[in-house]
Amino acid sequence: MIPDKLNALINGIREEEFLSNSVLHLTANENCLSKLASSFLSYSIGSRYALGKSSDRNAEGTWQFGRLTYRGMPSLHHLEEEANQIAYKLFNSTYADFRPLSGVHATICTISTLTKAGDLIFSLPPESGGHFASPQIIHSLGRRNSFLPWNKQKFDIDPDRLEILYRQENPSAILLDYNSPLFPLNLAQIRQIVGEHIPIIYDASHVAGLISGGRFQQPLNDGCTVLQANTHKSFPGPQKGMIHTVQPETAHQISSALSAGLISSQQTNNLIALYITLLEMHENAKAYAKNMILNSEVLAHNLDKQGFKLVNRQNKPSASHILLVEVDSQKKARQWAKKLIESGISVNARRLYGKAVLRLGIQEVTRRGMTTTEMAEIAILFRNAIFDKRSCEELQQEVEELMSHFPHVHYSFDNLTAN
């Protein structure tokens, strides 16, 4: 029998799962797995190692990894090969590596592989959308860090200042760690300024789902050396990482470095769930990306209609699935976020682009099947919570009623059964 204290902890997690399903999730850094993909997270083969890449092994029952001979999983091998071919099409790459454990791990892998100790790396300033962890990663790896010049009006790199800074400081790599992307970056212009030989690493963690559906921008077509990302935001997979390139030498460097010691176990359960998601996106990425953009535009319009001010560029709030609601102060942003969260609406309070904001993402509600009709309803819920100051209990009931109509995950193979 499970001890009472332990049983209470276990039941608490079960309750957390139940409550989460009734929340309107509008956080920009999360998504939901399909039932088919998530079903593999509990498979016992998750305890088994899947070392290396399919190109390093054969499809037979015995696998060789370096000096290690071990029992292989031929079905996983075949699934990986199919997923790779799909990934090449979705991201316009010729090499894809899904061994990284997360987006941050992917950054560690690319920086440590494509640069050396003492090198200078340009990255985005955190206050202008750069990832908070990038400076720490760069310094921990023995590299140096400077920030890219940012044009606040254009929401893009300032090309004139970049040209001057590039000549003055001579960086060895550029990391575009775009953490709250509202608009595409002018990648071709950046490549033109820095020349052909310096690695440009584009972190697509937030917009990988849009890119896979042919939206937002295509980094590998526009001069980037590497596209890296986590796989659980607008790309609706498990918490994992990926690295793509079209350059054979870069692919060899990354693959060799990962095999040599940057990764051992690659979390077999999550790996399988990611491959299943890639298969799902092969069929659904275009429609999913199209509807994310449409929902974002309609939600922005309706929030404006209800009296909210959105961060914008020339009156356009966003070209992605992310919206930033502008708030007078950081204190008020936290208060608004607290009220919304207690009303069953999950959001983030942040400071970005010099403003206190609520950061919203519609990738999960879109995958739940919500359309422009629900975007108008969500804007009204925001008004009721913030301006009309209705009670959290009353609003929570309305949110639960709304969520009860969307129990299924769309853009998936959930009509299939994993046996």
Beta-ladder partners of 123: 147, 175
pTM of the predicted protein model: 0.96
User: What's the CA gap between 177 and 123, in Å, rounded?
Assistant: 7
The answer to whether 181 and 206 are in contact (CB under 8 A) is: yes
Q: Is 218 helix (H, G, I), strand (E, B) or coil?
A: coil
pLDDT of amino acid 209? 99
157-168 pLDDT, tens digit each: 999 999 999 999
Going by C-beta distance under 8 Å and a sequence separation of 6 or more, which residues neighbour residue 12? none
Beta strands in 40-143 (DSSP E): 62-65, 68-71, 95-97, 120-123
The contacts of residue 192 (CB under 8 Å, 6+ apart) are: 223
Q: Which amino acid is at 360?
A: L
Cβ-based neighbour number of residue 182 at 10 Å:
24
Among residues 400, 403, 412, 406, the alpha carbon closest in space to that of 369 is found at 406
> In 306-371, which residue ranges form alpha helices assigned H by DSSP?
330-342, 363-367
Coil vs helix vs strand at 94? coil
Q: Which of 277, 234, 274 is nearest to 366 (CA)?
A: 234
CATH class, domain 37-279, is alpha beta
At 130, phi and psi to the nearest 5?
Answer: -70, 150
Quick check: 130 and 149 in contact, CB under 8 A?
no
Question: Percent of the chain beyond pLDDT 70?
Answer: 99
What is the reported pLDDT for 40? Answer: 97
> 315's torsion region: left (phi>0), alpha (psi -120 to 50) or beta?
left
**pLDDT tens readout for residues 183-236:** 999 999 999 999 999 999 999 999 999 999 999 999 999 999 999 999 999 999
Alpha-carbon distance of 68 to 74, in angstroms, equals 17
Domain spans in the chain, listed from the N-terminal domain onward: 22-34+285-404, 37-279
The DSSP string of 29-68 is: T-----HHHHHGGG-GGGGS---S-GGGS-SSSEEEETTE
Give the number of residues written for the chain. Answer: 419
DSSP letter, residue 395: H
pLDDT in tens, 52-80: 888 877 767 788 877 888 888 999 999 99
On the question of pLDDT at 419 being above 80, the answer is no
Per-residue pLDDT of 95-116, as tens digits, reads 999 999 999 999 999 999 999 9
Say what the pLDDT of residue 51 is.
Answer: 87
Report the top-level CATH class of 22-34+285-404.
alpha beta
